[in-house]
Amino acid sequence: MQLWFDTAEVFIGGRWFLPASGETLPLENPSTGEDIGRIARGTAADIDNAVTAAQEALEGEWGAMTAAERGRVLMRLSWLISKKVDELAEIEATDVGKPLTQARNDAIALARYMEFYGGAADKVMGETIPYLDGYTVYTLREPHGVTGHIVPWNYPMQIIGRSVGAALAMGNACVLKPAEEACLSALAFADLARQAGLPDGALNVVPGLGEEAGAALTAHPGVNHISFTGSVCVGREVQKAAADNIVPVTLELGGKSPQVVFEDADLEKALPFLVNAGIQNAGQTCSASSRILVHESLYDELCIHMAAAYDALRVGPAMDDLNVGPLISARQKEIVLGFLTQTDNNHILSRGEIMEDAPAGGHYVAPTLISGIRPDHPLAQDEIFGPVQVIIPFRDEDHAVEIANSTNFGLVASVWSRDGARQMRMARKLRAGQVFINNYGAGGGVELPFGGVGHSGHGREKGFEALYGFSVLKTVAAHHG
Ligand code: NAD
């Protein structure tokens, strides 16, 4: 793996530094379990420096740029990323353990986010509002100021793209805290942003532990907005910390997303979506479809098809680019296997195969398809964050909605049916931030607002909606008689 930056440094004010603690943290390749380097152990002192650098950027060159100029910087960054797609893919595959093709797709998505938000930067407009005689009233969209971005390890490039891209487009200055398990692509992104001409301090990256650097960022009084993507329990802490400073928070949390397959579904078309949405990135996807709800008349047939698809799944090192890579860590593997002990073997319909030559130190779990459990079973209610899907039969539309909406989450759902009226009814009744009809995930959907309800979080990222989230609306009322 060729790196063009020092992994053990923080990026603050456009320059690379050793962290204030002088300490580093180990970095592991999940495919092998081997140490692949050290990353900075950023702490509150680095966060403080990063927030100061961001504030200075807002008062300096970055804050003085027009929206069109900001857009051009993001476009240049998009171009630089697109030239480095292969290197970024290799970095992400090595760091996260995701199969190379999936990592490459994430790098392409990062370039696309910069392109989308670069193009959108000068297209966010206010409104004029008809008001009393003698008044002209209009609205302005202004940046929050310093935005904090806390990112998990599962899709670093995609999540940085959607969150930092939108925040920069709106003129905020960002402090990014990537996950301690996988932060190399965040550092690569910072260096490419510097090369693209992003003014010093507009983006600062401080790797470190969640309870140190992450907690310091969420509690910092100089931060004006926090975007957090991660688990429900940490999200709750982040929201509490932000409440002390009365700053807005976007929470992108977990999911237990259902795909609902009706008796008139096109099964052949649905099958790859049903399976891939569960096993992509080894199931470590917030919008993973971990529940397949199927009409009872199709249940046996779908079980046969999905079991065959699972039989064909191959698991191995990220660089071998098979269907499924390792989980991120030994701890994550333990959590997933712990879930699987909550059912007995006769509920396991099928399993993928871990390749014999997969390194013993890698964190591999065979994709597992489960049937015959009740909808209120923990495996059908809790986010497992591993390659595990459950198939559950339903009687009719109302029963499908009841099961689909029975978890605490509400991130994504899909409906497979040829009946247009049913599609529309289901889209309204399903409790989710995104509903897909006869597809799932829509190829990533940079342009499509994304976010959850319930324990899946609140606020929206992606698309134009994110630009509204990363800005503050100001109303100007002029009385001119
Ligand atoms: P996590 O909550 O443990 O960590 C996420 C980030 O928060 C990391 O950068 C971590 O260092 C930081 N963090 C940890 N403790 C902190 C604290 N006390 N204060 C501030 N920051 C802290 O989550 P994870 O295990 O890394 O990621 C998996 C979770 O993320 C899953 O629940 C998944 O569904 C969710 N996720 C959601 C989305 C989405 O868009 N909705 C996308 C990806 C992942």
Report field, pTM of the whole predicted structure over 0.85? yes
Q: Which amino acid is at 402?
A: E
Whether residue 42 contacts residue 52, with contact meaning beta carbons closer than 8 Å, is answered with: no
- CA gap 372, 370 in Å, rounded: 7
- Point out which residues pair with 205 in neighbouring strands: 11, 176
Whole-Å CA distances, 256 to 172, 221, 266, 393: 32, 34, 23, 16
Among 231, 233, 280, 339, residue to substitute to test ligand 1 (most atoms within 8 Å of Cβ): 231
Per-domain boundaries in the chain: 10-253, 258-445
Q: How is residue 250 annotated by DSSP?
A: E
Encode 218-246: b = buried (16+ Cβ within 10 Å), e = exposed.
bbbebbbbbbbbbbbebbebbbebbeeee
Per the annotation, the verdict on 252 as an active-site residue is: yes
- One-letter-per-residue 3-state SS of 299-321: HHHHHHHHHHHHHCCEECCHHHC
Angle at CA of residue 13, ends 145 and 124, nearest 5°: 35
The protein residue whose alpha carbon is closest to atom 16 in ligand 1 is 210
Domain at 258-445: CATH architecture: 3-Layer(aba) Sandwich (3.40)
Angle at CA of residue 242, ends 240 and 243, nearest 5°: 65
Note the pLDDT tens digit of each residue in 48-92: 999 999 999 999 999 999 999 999 999 999 999 999 999 999 999
* Dihedral pair phi/psi, residue 336, rounded to 5°: -65, -45
Alpha-carbon Rg for the chain, nearest whole angstrom, is: 23
Q: Which amino acid is at 293?
A: L
Cα 480 to ligand 1 centre (Å):
51
39 SS3 class? strand
The protein residue whose alpha carbon is closest to atom 3 in ligand 1 is 231
- CA gap 349, 303 in Å, rounded: 8
The protein residue whose alpha carbon is closest to atom 38 in ligand 1 is 286
CB neighbours (10 Å) of residue 60? 15
- CA gap 254, 121 in Å, rounded: 29
Sign of CA dihedral 160, 153, 204, 195: negative
* Dihedral pair phi/psi, residue 276, rounded to 5°: -60, -35
Q: How is residue 26 annotated by DSSP?
A: E
- Mean pLDDT, consecutive 10-residue stretches, the chain (481 aa), reads 89 97 97 96 98 98 98 98 98 98 98 98 97 98 98 98 98 98 98 98 98 98 98 98 97 98 98 98 98 98 98 98 98 97 93 98 98 97 98 98 98 98 98 98 91 98 97 98 95
Residue 150, pLDDT score: 98
- CA gap 310, 389 in Å, rounded: 10
Reading the block at residue 132, the tokens are 């009393």
Q: How is residue 456 annotated by DSSP?
A: G
Among 234, 285, 434, residue to substitute to test ligand 1 (most atoms within 8 Å of Cβ): 234
Q: In what order do the strands lie in the sheet with 15-17?
A: 15-17, 10-12, 203-205, 173-177, 146-150, 225-229, 249-252, 457-458
- CA gap 455, 233 in Å, rounded: 10
Catalogue the E-assigned strands of 76-194: 128-129, 135-143, 146-150, 173-177
Q: Which residues line ligand 1 (CB under 6 A)?
A: 150-155, 159, 177, 179-180, 210-211, 214-215, 218, 229-231, 234, 237-238, 252-255, 286, 383, 385, 411, 457
CB neighbours (10 Å) of residue 140? 13
Residue 141, pLDDT score: 97
Any idea how long the chain is? Answer: 481
Q: Comparing 10-253 with 258-445, is the CATH topology the same?
A: no
Whether residue 186 contacts residue 206, with contact meaning beta carbons closer than 8 Å, is answered with: no
Note the pLDDT tens digit of each residue in 194-232: 999 999 999 999 999 999 999 999 999 999 999 999 999
User: How big, in percent rounded to 5, are the helix, strand and coil portions of the chain?
Assistant: 45, 20, 35
Residue 170, pLDDT score: 98
Q: Which fold has domain 10-253?
A: Aldehyde Dehydrogenase; Chain A, domain 1 (3.40.605)
Residue 90, pLDDT score: 97
Whether residue 51 contacts residue 379, with contact meaning beta carbons closer than 8 Å, is answered with: no
- CA gap 419, 422 in Å, rounded: 5
Selection from 447, 408, 415, 413 nearest residue 433 by Cα:
413
